[in-house]
Structure 1
Amino acid sequence: MISWLMLAQAAALGIAGLVVAIAGLARRPFGDLALFAAIGAFATLVVQIVASIIAPIAGAGPTGDLLEYWTYLLSAILIPPAAVLWALVDKKGQWSTLIVGVGILACAVMVYRMHQIWFVQIA
């Protein structure tokens, strides 16, 4: 696994989630900003899945529990589509953009935790 990639991904997701959450708190309706941020979050998590498959094959396995890592990753990849679906169902509501922002922030925290599992924890 690539440490800088995971940390950059966590930072980017944190910034994107914060921007979308602030837009949601400012009562901006669900639109392109939140949608593209969620698509970007999903895309980075797909890259993470590919890297997580290749890294152990290349000999760079995790120091922590592999099952816990994959549980975090597979759970995280479900959050952006679920948040967008929820926002689309509640598109006229005032909280739809905030829902997507909080979902992306949750993904940022999960990616940071995955970094800890992969690099820091000793099994």
Structure 2
Amino acid sequence: MISWVMLAQAIGLGVIGGVVAIVGLTRRPFGDGVLAAAALTLLTLVVQTVASVVAPIMGAGPTGDLLEYWTYLITALVIPPAAVMWALVDKKGEWSTLVVGVGILAVAVMVYRMHQIWFVQLA
């Protein structure tokens, strides 16, 4: 894993999630921009997953608990699709965009925690 990439991912997702949440607070309907933000979030997590499989094989494993790391990563992979499904079910509702924004913010926090587990926490 590359430390600055994980931190950039956490910061970037925090900004994207914050913007989507603010848009959601203005009660704008769920649209393509929100869907693109969720897709970008999921794409970064898929890249993270591939890197998480390759890094230990190359000898750069985590300093923390590997099970805890993978639990965070799998949970983070589930949040964006679940938030989008919720938003699509409640597409005419006024809170659907906010749900996706909060989901992306949650993923940003989880990515930061995964960074701590991989690089900082000692087993």
Tell me the TM-score normalized by structure 1: 0.99
> Counterpart of 2:41?
41
1:96 to partner: Cα distance: 0.2
Matched ranges for 1:1-123 at <5 A: 1-123=1-123
1:33 to partner: Cα distance: 1.5
Output the amino acid matched with 2:100: V
Output the amino acid matched with 1:9: Q
Figure out how many residues of one structure are paired with residues of the other and give that number.
Answer: 123
| Structure 2: unaligned runs, 5 residues or longer | none
Distance in 2 separating the partners of 1:27 and 1:40: 22
CA offset digits 1:76-98 (Å, max 9, x no partner) = 00000000000000001000000
Tell me the TM-score normalized by structure 2: 0.99
| Structure 1: unaligned runs, 5 residues or longer | none
1:32 to partner: Cα distance: 1.1
Distance in 2 separating the partners of 1:108 and 1:32: 21
Distance in 1 separating the partners of 2:34 and 2:17: 9
What value does the CA root-mean-square deviation take over the aligned residues? 0.4
Output the amino acid matched with 2:53: I
CA offset digits 1:6-46 (Å, max 9, x no partner) = 00100110010000000000111000111000000000000
Distance in 1 separating the partners of 2:102 and 2:122: 30
Percent sequence identity is 76
